[in-house]
Amino acid sequence: MCGIVGYTGTQRASQVLLEGLKTLEYRGYDSAGLAVLHQGKITVEKVSGRIANLCEKTHDGLSVEGCTGIGHTRWATHGAPTDVNAHPHLSNDGRFAVVHNGIIENYAALREELRAKGYTFRSETDTEVVVHLIEMYYQGDLKKAVIKTVARLEGSYALGIVCTDHPNTLFAVKEASPLILGIGAGENFFASDVTALIAHTKNAVYLDDGELAELTGEEVRIYDCTGREIQKPVSRITWGMEAAEKGGYEHFMLKEIMEQPAAVKAALSPRLKDDEIVLDDFELSGEYLSRVNKILITACGSAYYAGCAGRYAIEKLCRIPTEAVLASELRYCDPIVDEHTLLIVLSQSGETADTIAAMKECKRRGARTLAIVNVVGSTIAKLADNTLYTWAGPEIAVATTKGYTTQVAVLYLFALYTARKLGRLDGEEWTGYLREMRMMPRKLQETLDLSHPAERIAKKYRDARSLFFIGRNTDYAVAQEGALKMKEISYLHAEAYAAGELKHGTIALIVEGQPVIAVCCCDELSEKTMNNIIEVKTRGAKVAAIAKPGNRAILSQADDVLFIADTPSVFSPLLSVVPLQLLAYYTAKENGRDIDKPRNLAKSVTVE
Ligand code: F6R
């Protein structure tokens, strides 16, 4: 999704902006640009395609002079990814330049109004209305003009603005899109994400919706939507630059797969205190939880599949009816939700538009909201009544891995916490589950070590036209995530089926050589899934099974077996997803795919 960066200080702005934009590449984009103020003029350079093209065009920034500027990576929504549609956009009089992340929903009406007043549009973007509105409202006071402009906008926007009348000044506004200020010494920054800031400063200010910031090299002023100056706390960024780099791995995705033991440890261990689970700075009382008659989990993509896996643990341990619903469906389904519903919202980025909309809809109907989010200060984290961060660190690869596992881990903690509060877990059962949680990071490492055959198995599947993933219950939830991983990075068709459904249609597709990945880690149901393995084998399928170490029988049934560390069935998705991630990774690698940036995908989906 789009990324924005702003810089004002004493360095050559174009170089700082290009470096910042490179760190935002992972968000997904199809054009890039920058605008720099110098000697009363704005120089704009923009190109379609990669940031490398922008570096080439500007001789790595050397051809653009000036110490204050804004930069942008665009993921096309309105208008094709062309040079003209790339940001920044200039006002007709050339005095203002704007970069934008988000969508201006009422841009068509505004465009008509501005055209009627004589403004000329050069691009097809929704963004261009913003810069013309600013020009229209400007009477020497840029802050006032920006406030008047945003009052006219409907939708989501993080905006970066420069003006020739304010040579060393950046303006930034946030509404429903991420924007963080970086506070330096003699220089200041803004960006969509801390990864663009950490090379320069660890001090950040997280803007809230409706706030406006005015930055010079010396000071940062923040205003509310009426223009009244406000004070905001400066937070310390705890992510190091190293965490945002590849750390010796060929791809960010592989690095992030390998980081899972550490990431899950970071998510679990601070919350496992002696004989109890503590939820950061809040508590859900037994009295409140006993009034909850339904838990809804909502999310998109892999986060939704994490919800599907966690649902089983919540229902099994808490005996509260729990459902995972796609946010894009929930937002429009007139959901039956009230104050007895607890809505759990899962999101790595915390900025997914559908998830935010579903959350707002359920909040409106009275649900209490608990967010499980990775990105600190993100929109979902701020909107929720309570937030549990997953503390997975920055996830750069577009395909999520540690984002998913940390979400699942935190859902398990929630399930255990709630069951305990409801008086459903005690004695040896309780301490046994806590012990299991404490051992999860080690078991993840063991599973990573056991998963090395994935590289060899991937060679067999590299030319497959299609792969089936099957499983039952928790294994089915993981099969869905495995199929999604395979699709998104290897571009091979992959589909997950509840194994019991095979006979109801899908088995017609099983022919000689059809690859089937069977997840078989649910003790109570492994015999049933093994029967399904026999059924597909009889019809010529090639089966790779994911199984627990005790299941030796599977060795004589499947063509290949990837074992995971032993764990109770209810928690097995946290481990069984690992060989599936690696299988997808190596299949994509075999096929020479752009693993960290798969085609057509964006890391943070901030539009519907
Ligand atoms: C798949 C993937 C996506 C995200 C989905 C939700 O690998 O990354 O399916 O899981 O777009 O994103 P978040 O978790 O940021 O809300």
Q: Which atom of ligand 1 is nearest to the CA of 302?
A: 10
Contact 275, 431 (CB under 8 A): yes
Q: Is the CB of 374 under 6 A from ligand 1?
A: no
Average pLDDT of 26-52?
92
- Decide the pairing of beta strands 220-223 and 211-215: antiparallel
Q: What's the 314 CA to ligand 1 centre distance in angstroms?
A: 22
In 3D space, the residue among 145, 119, 147 whose CA is nearest the CA of residue 132 turns out to be: 119
Which pLDDT score, from 0 to 100, does residue 144 have? 97
Q: Is the CB of 576 under 6 A from ligand 1?
A: no
- The amino acid present at 239, given as its one-letter code, is W
pLDDT in tens, 190-217: 999 888 999 999 999 999 999 999 999 9
Q: Which atom of ligand 1 is nearest to the CA of 305?
A: 10
Average pLDDT, the chain: 94
Q: Is the CB of 607 under 6 A from ligand 1?
A: no
SS (H, E, C) 278-339: CCCCCCCCHHHHHHCCEEEEEECHHHHHHHHHHHHHHHHHHCCCEEEEEHHHHCCCCCCCCC
Q: Is the CB of 401 under 6 A from ligand 1?
A: no
Q: Is the CB of 177 under 6 A from ligand 1?
A: no
Q: Is the CB of 303 under 6 A from ligand 1?
A: yes
Active site residues: 2, 603
- Weakest-pLDDT range from 10-14, 268-272, 486-490, 516-520: 268-272
CA 108 to chain centre: 29
Q: Which atom of ligand 1 is nearest to the CA of 603?
A: 8
CA–CA distance, 545 with 468 (Å, rounded to integer): 12
Contact 232, 382 (CB under 8 A): no
CA 256 to chain centre: 14
Average pLDDT of 509-518?
95
Q: What's the 85 CA to ligand 1 centre distance in angstroms?
A: 26
- The amino acid present at 233, given as its one-letter code, is P
pLDDT in tens, 238-293: 777 666 567 668 899 999 999 999 999 989 988 998 899 998 778 999 999 999 99
Q: Which of 305, 328, 354, 400 has most ligand 1 atoms within 8 Å of CB, for mutation?
A: 400
Which pLDDT score, from 0 to 100, does residue 242 have? 62
- Reported as a pLDDT band with limits 50, 70 and 90, residue 9 is very high
Average pLDDT of 292-302?
98
Which pLDDT score, from 0 to 100, does residue 425 have? 96
Q: Is the CB of 347 under 6 A from ligand 1?
A: yes
Q: Is the CB of 133 under 6 A from ligand 1?
A: no
Any bridge partners for residue 205, and if so which? Answer: 181
Q: Is the CB of 345 under 6 A from ligand 1?
A: no
Average pLDDT of 479-491?
98
Which pLDDT score, from 0 to 100, does residue 25 have? 85
pLDDT of residue 89 exceeding 70: yes
Nearest Cα residue to atom 6 of ligand 1: 300
Q: Is the CB of 31 under 6 A from ligand 1?
A: no
- What is the b/e burial string over 469-492, where b = at least 16 CB atoms within 10 angstroms of the residue's CB? bbbbbbbbbbbbbbbbbbbbbbbb
Beta strands in 435-571 (DSSP E): 466-471, 493-498, 515-520, 542-547, 560-563
Nearest Cα residue to atom 10 of ligand 1: 302
Q: Which of 300, 325, 402, 488 has most ligand 1 atoms within 8 Å of CB, for mutation?
A: 300
Which pLDDT score, from 0 to 100, does residue 244 have? 58
Query: What sign results for the dihedral spanned by CA atoms 143, 149, 150, 155?
Result: negative
CA–CA distance, 60 with 27 (Å, rounded to integer): 21
DSSP letters for 215-272: E-SS-EEEE-TTS-EE--PPEEP---TGGGS-TT-SSHHHHHHHTHHHHHHHHHGGGE
CA 405 to chain centre: 13
Residue matched to tokens 């290897």:
490
Q: State the chain's maximal CA–CA distance in angstroms.
A: 80
Which pLDDT score, from 0 to 100, does residue 245 have? 64
pLDDT in tens, 536-568: 999 999 999 999 999 999 999 999 999 999 999
Contact 485, 399 (CB under 8 A): yes
Q: Which of 580, 599, 605, 608 has most ligand 1 atoms within 8 Å of CB, for mutation?
A: 605
Nearest Cα residue to atom 16 of ligand 1: 347
Peptide bond connecting 88 to the previous residue in cis, omega within 30 degrees of 0: yes
- Reported as a pLDDT band with limits 50, 70 and 90, residue 11 is very high
- Decide the pairing of beta strands 542-547 and 560-563: parallel
CA–CA distance, 243 with 182 (Å, rounded to integer): 18
In 3D space, the residue among 15, 411, 29, 369 whose CA is nearest the CA of residue 193 turns out to be: 29
Q: Which atom of ligand 1 is nearest to the CA of 407?
A: 14
If you ran DSSP here, which 8-state letter would residue 216 be given? Answer: -
Which pLDDT score, from 0 to 100, does residue 243 have? 63
Q: Considering the chain, what percentage of its residues have pLDDT values greater than 90? A: 86
- Reported as a pLDDT band with limits 50, 70 and 90, residue 103 is confident
